[in-house]
Amino acid sequence: MHLEKQGKAPIYEALLKYKSMRVVPFDVPGHKQGKGNPELTEFLGEKCLSVDVNSMKPLDNLVHPVSVIKEAEELAADAFGAHHAFFMVNGTTSAVQAMIMSVCKRGEKVIMPRNVHRSAINALIISGAIPVYVNPGVNKKLGIPLGMSINDVKKAIEENPDAKAIFINNPTYYGICSDLKSITELAHRHDMYVLVDEAHGSHFYFGPNMPVNAMAAGADMAAVSMHKTGGSLTQSSFLLKGERLSTGHVRQTINLTQTTSGSYLLLASLDISRRNLALGGKSIFEKATALANYAREEINKIGGYYAFSTELINGDSVYDFDQTKLSIHTRDIGLAGIEVYDILRDDYGIQIELGDIGNILAIISVGDRALALERLVSSLSEIKRLYIRDKSGMLDHEYINPEVVLAPQQAFYSDQRSVAIKDSIGRISGEFVMCYPPGIPILAPGERITGEIIDYIAYAKAKGSSLTGTEDMSIENIRVLEE
């Protein structure tokens, strides 16, 4: 990274210049710098609305950048150690989909862990690519999926030498990392591309003593959610690319689905956040890691909770651990993670990232403060005192290995009918069922519905999980393939 260049923020600077010119707008958006929507201007502020503008020559065009956006892309690539960086304004979802669609045609295989975000399986439905699932290891005590084992990846490659790519989470939602460098080297020896979902790993590029990032590991592409841990606005991300793929081809693929009206609020937030992290990321994430480790230590002193960390590292399916993820196992105090999640929000005014059947997750990043973490620790201590109960009868698993019968695209577009979930055992699902967050499917199109899955769905609903994915919003019915 060339630090002397990183002080620039070309998109932000171009917007400031545009604002100073007091241009009279006869283009879109129709609110005309906020004048046409005073309530929205009052809510978001005149400064914000005045730079919610359309593409024009002085501000470049995201679809075909030649000036300020092009320069901002080059600075981002330099900051992240990538060959090229694309600004993404349709979320990391569109970055994940662009990665898969850039390298896989209809009918071509991609090796991936089954605990991927739904955006990856959506990409298979859109593109017609065929998944070869490597079931991740599972930590039975915590009930969480781990990373991909090297031997499992080797086996998948041997059995599918025609696969085009390997897709890897770095890290998982819970902070667990696979051996990214070894898997990348193995894939490249077999002439396969390596695609990395780094939705939760933007800090890996800037923090000290972090797990290896995708570009440093030699991966071909990485989808990086700057808005999650890097400080940019929600829905803004980077798609990073190595040297093996054509920049023009990837941009064409992005442009298949990304808006032609890129938000300059999102673009500027990426530009400014990249500059902040390039210049000060080391100290920012050093502090975030220290705060997370302090909170982890204090939570483990309470007893009953287990805030897990690097002690899980086993050199394979848990090759490394992201210490900024404050993942906490709650089942030993007799509460599901989602119950603790709800109590924290409703009774203590604390919103954490997710609660699932056995765990909660607090994301610690650029904006966290020690006082807020003290409040979280004391609230968890009080919740234990007030709500602790016998843990017998609690569901003791989180990840269920799926039985994949059909490719996602084939299942999604097959003839289907709706049946009651309780009557669906043995049928093939035509849609998703997932708790959101984290958005990892319990069921995906083309997978066999089992009694274990139905029990899990019923338990998650009873505990208050937010279930999504089915056409039936009440999740009483599910669409299955016609037999």
- What is the predicted pLDDT for the residue at 198? 98
Produce one character per residue of 410-425: b if its CB has 16 or more CB atoms within 10 Å, e if not: ebbebebeeeebeebe
Pairing between strand 176-177 and 193-198? Answer: unpaired
- What is the predicted pLDDT for the residue at 140? 86
- What is the predicted pLDDT for the residue at 438? 82
- What is the predicted pLDDT for the residue at 396? 73
Orientation angle between helical segments 451-463 and 337-348, nearest 10 degrees: 20
The string of pLDDT tens digits covering residues 1-11 is 888 899 999 99
* 309 Cβ contact partners less than 8 Å away, ≥ 6 residues apart: 293, 296, 321, 323
Residue 21 identity: M
282-387 in CATH: which number?
3.90.1150.10
The string of pLDDT tens digits covering residues 386-416 is 999 998 888 877 778 889 999 999 999 999 9
- What is the predicted pLDDT for the residue at 358? 93
Global pTM reads 0.95
Please state, in angstroms and rounded to a whole number, the distance separating the CA atoms of residues 353 and 313.
23
Residue 302 pLDDT grade (very low, low, confident, very high; cuts 50, 70, 90) = very high
* 39 Cβ contact partners less than 8 Å away, ≥ 6 residues apart: none
**Nearest CA to 149 among 317, 283, 401, 339?**
317
Question: Which residue matches tokens 């610690």?
Answer: 364
* End-to-end CA gap in the chain: 57
The string of pLDDT tens digits covering residues 91-150 is 999 999 999 999 999 999 999 998 999 999 999 999 999 999 998 888 988 989 999 999
- What is the predicted pLDDT for the residue at 374? 97
> Which token pair is 152?
């499992």
**Nearest CA to 126 among 432, 409, 447?**
409
Residue 369 pLDDT grade (very low, low, confident, very high; cuts 50, 70, 90) = very high
* 386 Cβ contact partners less than 8 Å away, ≥ 6 residues apart: none
pLDDT for residue 164 is more than 90: yes
Domain boundaries, the chain: 282-387, 408-481
Tell me the fold of 408-481: Molybdopterin biosynthesis moea protein, domain 2 (3.90.105)
Question: What share of the chain in percent tops pLDDT 90?
Answer: 88
Residue 171 identity: P
Would you mind telling me the total number of residues written for the chain in this entry?
Answer: 483
Residue 313 CB neighbour total at 10 angstroms: 14
- What is the predicted pLDDT for the residue at 61? 97
**Nearest CA to 353 among 330, 344, 323, 467?**
344
Orientation angle between helical segments 370-387 and 337-348, nearest 10 degrees: 110
Question: In sequence order, what DSSP letters do the residues of 253-307 get, joined into one string?
Answer: HHHHHS-SS--HHHHHHHHHHHHHHHHHHHHHHHHHHHHHHHHHHHHHHHSS-EE
Question: Which residue matches tokens 């879109």?
Answer: 28
Q: Cα 427 from chain centroid?
A: 30
Q: Specify whether the CB–CB gap between 481 and 445 falls below 8 A.
A: no
More confident residue, 350 or 366: 350
> Which token pair is 82?
């990538």
SS3 403: coil
Please state, in angstroms and rounded to a whole number, the distance separating the CA atoms of residues 196 and 189.
17
Please state, in angstroms and rounded to a whole number, the distance separating the CA atoms of residues 265 and 282.
26
Please state, in angstroms and rounded to a whole number, the distance separating the CA atoms of residues 115 and 212.
20
> Which token pair is 416?
């289907």
Please state, in angstroms and rounded to a whole number, the distance separating the CA atoms of residues 436 and 430.
19
